[in-house]
Amino acid sequence: MWDIGHIHRKEYEIDTDRAEPMVVAEAPGRVHYLGEHGEPKAGLFLSSAIDRYIRVAVSPRKDSSLRFYAANLGERKRTTLVNLKYKREDRWANYIKVGIHIFARLGYPVKGLNFTLQGDIPQHIGLASSSAIEVAAAVALRGFFQVPLRDEELLDQLILSDAAFFEEHTNPIDYVIALRARADEFLLVDETTLEVRRIPSSISGYQLLIMDSRVPRMGVQEELQERRQDIKKGLTLLSQKKEGASFRNFVTADLIESMGDLPEEIRRRSMHIIQELRRVYNAEEALTKTDLPALSKIIFHSHESLRDLYEVSCPEIDWLVKRAQEIDGVLCSRMTGQGFGGCTYIIIKEEAIEEYRRRLDDYERIFGFHPVLYAVRLAAGSRLLPA
């Protein structure tokens, strides 16, 4: 397969004998292992980058046009700096525009530019491919303009530009992971401060698999909005008896004491949030101590909570997690992503993978969906590549 530099030069008919500058950057996808269904703007995540990447190449043009080429799709888009705005029909190119918006707003000489996009992050299954495009484009342009912008400053600029460009609040966690991840490390990320604690991986000898259930996901945003409203109501009701700014100020006992005041559905949602916060800290401790049996229990209990308390799972996902739990050599499994379908992850011994694959034949026969399995590894974050 041709590398992105070759594709870029061929697409824009760049003479390889000329010394025209070209910069290439990559940013990884990510997996959330715990915490993603938490209190909005105050979440606590156990996550990692994975070795699936989006790569962006950029070079100058002689005119003022901005050209975009998605090599995997064979699609082309174009605009100008004057018309740099969100357009639904531009789809993937909108995320590159976020990177352009950063440096245009900072006053750098954004004129005519060529962009090529290439990657192997599976899309629309919750692995942060969109955020990876934004980060890769921003890192590439930082290198192109030779801007002395630290990662922390670039993170702030990404948050501001994404919010301005899409006119909505963005979750910065994916940017943090893409910029700060290191190979063979889990990250504990605090959404309130964007601080990161690094946890060396203690799962050597295991393989990380991502399972796309292929379950159609419809009406997900409406359901998730209802969950967020329930969380907000639960926090308000709890704070009437015990003042607190977030769920981190409460423990399970507070919910038991308030059972008469909290509607059952809100109590269940709130219970998940409070217990999941504790699970993230407990998982950090288990990984630090290489206590894999404890980690296994934490992960499986988290899935049960998503199923029974937060109620964002579905029968197909529950079946996949349950079957994984029955196989010798599987450390743990859980849904990941927004829920109501989507993906599970499995941490599994190499010798158990074949047995797991056999179980998937039953899944397809029972549910009628053909699942897709991806083998990934914990990976490093964004970087410039040799052009």
- Helix or strand or coil: residue 106? coil
Contact assessment for residue 303 and residue 323, using Cβ atoms and an 8 Å cutoff: no
Alpha-carbon span 61 to 119, nearest angstrom: 23
| Beta strands 75-80 and 65-70, pairing class | antiparallel
Q: What is the dihedral of CA 262, 266, 269, 274, to 10 degrees?
A: -30
Report the side by side order of strands in the sheet with 206-212. 330-336, 343-349, 206-212, 372-376
- The one-letter amino acid at 177: I
Residue of 174, 190, 212, 230 with catalytic role: 174
Alpha-carbon span 361 to 164, nearest angstrom: 46
282 Cβ contact partners less than 8 Å away, ≥ 6 residues apart: 294, 298
Active site residue 151: no
Write down the number of H helices and E strands in the chain. Answer: 11, 12
Closest CA to 54 of 146, 127, 163, 145: 127
Cα angle 156, 22, 177 (rounded to 5 degrees) comes to 30
The torsion angles phi and psi of 336, rounded to 5 degrees, stand at -140, 150
Q: In sequence order, what are the beta bridge partners of 208?
A: 347, 376
- Count CA within 13 A, CB hemisphere, residue 103: 25
| Beta strands 372-376 and 206-212, pairing class | antiparallel
Distances (CA, A) of 117 to 66, 282, 284: 13, 39, 35
- Residue 156 exposed, middle or buried by CB count within 10 Å (0-12, 13-18, 19+): middle
149, two tokens: 């912008």
Alpha-carbon span 47 to 33, nearest angstrom: 6
Q: Which residues are catalytic?
A: 174
